[in-house]
Amino acid sequence: MFFSLIDNRMRHSHPFKRQKYHFFYSNGKAHSLKLYFCAVKKTNPFSNLIELHGNCLFVSDAHFRTPPDAASEEREERLIQLLECQGADFRHLFLLGDIFDYWFEYRDVVPKGYFSLFTCLKKLHEKGVQIHYFTGNHDMWVEDYFTQAFGAVIYREAQLMEINGHRCFTGHGDGLGGKQRKYLLIKRIFNNRFNWWLYGLLHPRQSFSISRFCSEKSRNSHDESMLQFQGEKEFQVQYARELLEITNVDHFIFAHRHVLVRYELTPECTFFNTGDWLEHFSYVTFNEGDAEPELHTH
């Protein structure tokens, strides 16, 4: 009775209602639940389709350390070189998450360092480049500092966008697809506003020490086999296939996995991962007039 009520609501208010209803029942995962609540609230998660025009550059996973060490400063310099030499050509810069190994901003305090990078981003902003900052699992605590400093638009979830007439689904890509209950639970705890506020009560010296310890631990626990792209076993690929069942997407552009890859999902739809700015020094461009995004290494 309750579900048929929802079904009726969806039938009258959504362009993809029937498919979504089916999606909820056939999957029953966290993101399906989200679609279900969207249905209850009569909102469409794809209704605020953002339209962008112009050349786009996607870069992710630089994991700049807090405070920056020599290696981190070198990577920062390399990223600035890329942004400066490509600067005149692109209109949108996508920072696809985990740019910082740890980012937590207090009302009056931000992590020190990154001065050259921020100056470069400010210059780009002044030239008219729009910066899109997608938070990753290491920098989910971004608040409004980047927005105030260089007008960045902050996205906390992956987003469907129309880029130069192509439907692109992009975001950091962590926690999407597969059975990642434990990961999603941890993410939810970290992302909870009340916990966020509680953590902010700690003195920066304490909170930054805790974060460094956790970052180090997660770095050491990485599975060697995951260094390679796993094809259909990839959670992001599985998620992309699930999403393709309910809506049209031309290109998926994710990060997080630190693998630079172009993978054909269907003849009409391609999956990309930006790699990283740690070892691959890779990035993705999607220029006006291009049929699909392109992978590069610096």
Residues of this chain that bind Mn ion (CB under 5 A):
98, 136-137, 174, 256
- To Mn ion, the closest distance from the beta carbon of 247 in angstroms equals 25
What is the closest distance, in whole angstroms, from the C-beta atom of residue 257 to Mn ion in the complex? Answer: 8
Residue closer to Mn ion by CB (options 78, 187) is: 187
Q: Please say which residue, 174 or 234, places its beta carbon nearer to Mn ion.
A: 174
Q: What is the closest distance, in whole angstroms, from the C-beta atom of residue 124 to Mn ion in the complex?
A: 23
Closest contact distance (angstroms) between CB of 66 and Mn ion is 16
Which is closer to Mn ion, CB of 97 or CB of 246?
97
170 neighbors 253 (Cβ within 8 angstroms): yes
Closest-CA residue to 63 (of 30, 100, 97)? 100
Q: How far apart are CA 227 and CA 222, in angstroms?
A: 9
Cβ proximity to Mn ion, 100 vs 169, nearer residue: 100
Question: For residue 170, is it left (φ>0), alpha (ψ between -120 and 50) or beta?
Answer: beta
Residue whose CB is less far from Mn ion, 29 or 256: 256
**Cα(223)–Cα(221) distance, integer angstroms:** 6
- For residue 238, give Cα distances in angstroms to 89, 189, 292: 34, 24, 21
Q: Which is nearer to Mn ion, 137 or 282 (CB)?
A: 137
Q: Where are the extended beta strands (E) located within 85-218?
A: 92-95, 130-134, 153-155, 159-163, 166-170
Q: Are strands 159-163 and 166-170 parallel, antiparallel or unpaired?
A: antiparallel
Q: DSSP letter at 171? A: S
CA distance 95 to 135: 8
Nearer to Mn ion, 230 or 248 (CB): 230
Q: For the residues of 203-236, what is the DSSP string, one character each?
A: -HHHHHHHHHHHHHHHHHT--GGGGS--GGG-HH
**Contact by Cβ (8 Å): 91, 127:** no
The CB-of-63 to Mn ion minimum distance in angstroms stands at 9
Distance between alpha carbon 163 and the CA centroid of its chain, in Å?
16
The least CB distance from residue 139 to Mn ion, in Å, is: 9
The minimum distance between CB 274 and Mn ion, in angstroms, equals 11
Residue nearest to Mn ion (CB): 256
